[in-house]
Structure 1
């Protein structure tokens, strides 16, 4: 029997979608294979490949439910992977924890059990387990949005920021939309037209992400485009304790991120246009707030609160820190000042009895864990090792 046009269209769309998902997997795995966000993205893309195959109408009709259960388990578990991916994408300090693995295993096991045993049976557990499974996409979509909403403003690269928001909004919207469709479908299965619409929506989202990642050179999607450069074990240039706000000299910046566009080795003989006076004033105000007033010591400092403190629109401050000072992430910019102060305190022989936790909290870190990770990434040593080395040299 000749396949119906809708079946051929569905197969063609799924073939293109699978190809794009594999391209996305290659991009994520190639650019930053050790980064948690890249690893979570690879797992999510591969999970979506299995979901695309398992949600094909012919597959759902022809394959026994017991054989469908692994595909259903992975498909439902993708909601957990999406939550993990969003957390890793927006959190520089993200680390995979047992709760993430346990959540995926629990969700996948529940979905597999429902598909292979409970669904269609007369068990009294069927309504309960089915309701829990159907709530999974809603719960983890909300968790993903909450994780992104708490951190999205710290990204200073506008193109990357828009892509991250697009991934969260469309991913959550797709999850909730398809949940509504399946709730309205018999036995939760998609009919021919709704299955094709499912493939079309996912194809559009993946196509935009792949296209934007290619334009953003792939790795720029992630929290840190490059591994942080190690700070020399000699004492860093610390933010001055007292500085004149009107000083014409450029403000020293913490050694956390290299400028995105380093200056050319030879000067251009063409006279440079005069600097924007408003930007110069904002740069001076920012330098005074950070180096003199030690605004970075505030635990709840954000791009929004700092902009309000300087009485400027948030976009102007974001543009200054990114384009003029060369920083891609606000938290990394602030942590540069915090680490510099902590390093000075750890190297000070008069403070040898001061606990490391006290030094970290005084510099503005909220807890010892993020401080230790940031310090080790910047120096290659733990705070205790750094203190021991510097005091031995003094």
Structure 2
């Protein structure tokens, strides 16, 4: 088999796997934002597999420009996919679409105007620096959000998906910047296509090993009610730990501490971190540690907002006292739980009194 045929086979395999993955996500989880973004990322990656070339030395065929532009814009989708993957409460904003459109438009302009006018290296460098920037944002999101994940079955899979994608994308971006304007040969193109096929296969395999309902919850679940005593099936030790945890929450209000982590909480209970994750997830019904904390904070805030004696206390003071660091996250979390803003909640309680 010639190098050209081998490269084509690798590209075809990548495209086929990505299209199957996209179809599966849309079919099984069409109502879940993370799955829809995952499907969009898979489709954009298929465009990358079909059009990507390390060798950028001359005018790009016009018919390839839309695919290349779509491929470049996929890095924005990757960033959004990472955010939705690690934050069950993430929602798309109007400006996300503008960011994607601007990146895609610049890549298209690079293909049809900037590079053909003699500025190949400039065009390739800027596009790939954009790619590296969004990869850095995605990795930063993963690092910041991963510790709060309480679902053990999906924690490592999600990190694997992001890390493998970021590693492949980052290395390719650096490589293309280094060799821009120089011929690299068919061997390099074939190796790159092979690495992409292996990367796609590894990600698909990793996703198959975890229950889709864990990776992509079928629906946004409301925060579970705070439970101060929950029957343990046959495990008195677990029940004792749950009681101790709830005492920390109710009596010491440890959720008020700045930058409280699950590691700190596990240390206070003198148990391994993985065990506390399992207890909060399987016994109390939470999928995310921050949601667990915020539910307690919101319960305190609700009591304060409904208290006539605190009618003149500013909402931001109540939020900060409960452990929130700023007003914006408090308002969003409060409305997600109660369906109304803190100010509306206070007014309703006053009218009902």
TM-score > 0.5 by shorter chain: yes
Matched, 1:226 2:219: yes
Matched, 1:79 2:75: yes
Matched, 1:202 2:196: yes
Distance 1:159 1:207, change over 3 A: farther
Selected match of 2:43 from 46, 69, 73: 46
Is 2:121–2:181's contact at 8 Å kept on the other side of the alignment? no
The alignment's C-alpha RMSD in Å is 3.3
For 1:287 and 1:190, how far apart are their aligned partners in 2? 62
Q: What is the aligned partner in structure 1 of residue 7 from structure 2?
A: 10
For 2:303 and 2:182, how far apart are their aligned partners in 1? 61
Distance 1:230 1:325, change over 3 A: closer
For 1:11 and 1:197, how far apart are their aligned partners in 2? 11
Selected match of 2:162 from 160, 168, 173: 168
Distance 1:238 1:19, change over 3 A: closer
Selected match of 1:136 from 130, 134, 152: 130
Q: Secondary structure at the match of 1:321?
A: helix
Is 1:40–1:85's contact at 8 Å kept on the other side of the alignment? yes
Is 1:376–1:382's contact at 8 Å kept on the other side of the alignment? yes
Q: Deviations over 1:253-276 (max 9, x none)?
A: 8xxxxxxxx99xxxxxxxx75x36
| Count of residues in Structure 1 that have an aligned counterpart in Structure 2 | 353
Is 2:22–2:38's contact at 8 Å kept on the other side of the alignment? yes
Unaligned runs of 5+ in 1: 232-236, 240-250, 254-261, 264-271
Is 2:128–2:174's contact at 8 Å kept on the other side of the alignment? no
Q: Deviations over 1:277-327 (max 9, x none)?
A: 4x4553333122111100112241221222233343322221221233232
Normalising to structure 1: TM-score of the pair? 0.77
Q: What is the aligned partner in structure 2 of residue 243 from structure 1?
A: none
Selected match of 1:285 from 241, 244, 247: 244
Q: Which has the larger radius of gyration?
A: 1
Distance 1:118 1:203, change over 3 A: same
For 1:188 and 1:24, how far apart are their aligned partners in 2? 35
Q: Deviations over 1:134-156 (max 9, x none)?
A: 32232222221111111101001
Unaligned runs of 5+ in 2: none
* Equivalent residues in 2 for 1:366-377, closer than 5 Å: 366-377=325-336
Matched, 1:301 2:298: no
Is 1:47–1:74's contact at 8 Å kept on the other side of the alignment? yes
More helix by share: 2
Matched, 1:213 2:207: yes
Q: Secondary structure at the match of 1:150?
A: helix
